């Protein structure tokens, strides 16, 4: 199940809502009582409005606020919960939320989508460390929705478009997470859109924090 960040921290940071934490504590107890192992997802697209007003995931500081939130949740539930998934489908938050505008916050700004994707991954790495600080034997995962992209034809424009879609759907997330590096092909293909100046030198080491398993949502 997923925790709602605004339910725990209505303003995204600072004041904790005890009723929100107590709700999830009771839920965990009820699951355990019925022999069900709780597995928590920390972020399923519900960003506190106050943080969105300050720039949302386009703002690097949101990554640190996410780690603070993870510390609170793991500190409250980590005595009974071992498995934590940091993010659910960050591609959706980045591109449906900031490129096509189909999802909240309804932005249509492709360069912003790349920055958001990076800050989400940075938040994942910081949150993974925060959870492990609360429970050393925690199992950490992140859930992606990778795409199997096929060109509409063998014509060069279609092949190129498919490859660029694959880069932004898959390599954008998998290379930093599993290899600790940006995909050079992606950086080259997107250089007319973004200069990647939002990536700082230590970021990729943080993002490349060990995970215990990789969640996959695949829609055939």
Dist. CA 147–CA 165, nearest whole Å: 9
Mean pLDDT value across residues 177-203: 97
Query: 158 has which bridge partners?
Result: none
| Residue 176 pLDDT grade (very low, low, confident, very high; cuts 50, 70, 90) | very high
Q: What is the mean pLDDT of the chain?
A: 97
Residue 220 has pLDDT above 80, yes or no: no
Per-residue confidence at 219, pLDDT binned at 50, 70, 90?
A: confident
Instruction: Find the mean pLDDT for residues 124-142.
Output: 98
**What pLDDT is recorded for position 218?**
86
CA distance 70 to 187: 30
* Spatial separation of the C-alpha atoms in residues 157 and 205, rounded to whole Å: 35
Per-residue confidence (pLDDT) for residue 201, from 0 to 100 = 93
pLDDT digits (tens, 9 = 90+) for 195-215: 999 999 999 999 999 999 999
> CA–CA separation, 35 vs 28, rounded Å?
11
pLDDT > 90 in the chain, percent:
98
Residue 59 has pLDDT above 80, yes or no: yes
Select from 205, 214, 213 the least CA-distant residue to 125. 205
Average pLDDT of the residues in 173-178: 98
Q: Does the pTM exceed 0.95?
A: yes
């Amino acid at each position: 199940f997923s925790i709602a960040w605004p339910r725990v921290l209505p303003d995204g940071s600072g004041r904790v809502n005890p009723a929100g934490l107590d709700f999830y504590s009771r839920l965990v107890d009820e699951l355990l009582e019925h022999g069900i192992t709780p597995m928590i997802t920390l972020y399923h697209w519900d960003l506190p409005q106050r943080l969105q007003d300050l720039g949302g995931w386009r703002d690097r500081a949101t990554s640190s606020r996410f780690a603070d939130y993870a510390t609170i949740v793991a500190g409250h539930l980590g005595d009974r919960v071992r498995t934590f998934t940091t993010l659910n489908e960050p591609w959706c938050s980045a591109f449906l939320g900031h490129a096509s505008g189909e999802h909240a916050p309804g932005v249509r700004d492709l360069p912003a989508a790349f920055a958001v994707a990076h800050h989400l991954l940075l938040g994942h790495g910081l949150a993974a460390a925060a959870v492990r600080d609360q429970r050393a034997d925690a199992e950490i995962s992140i859930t992606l929705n990778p795409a199997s992209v096929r060109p509409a034809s063998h014509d060069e424009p279609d092949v190129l478009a498919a490859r660029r879609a694959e880069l932004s759907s898959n390599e954008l997330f998998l290379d930093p997470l599993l290899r600790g590096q940006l995909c050079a092909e992606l950086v080259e293909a997107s250089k007319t859109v973004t200069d990647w100046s939002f990536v700082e030198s230590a970021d990729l080491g943080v993002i490349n924090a060990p995970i215990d398993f990789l969640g996959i949502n695949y829609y055939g």
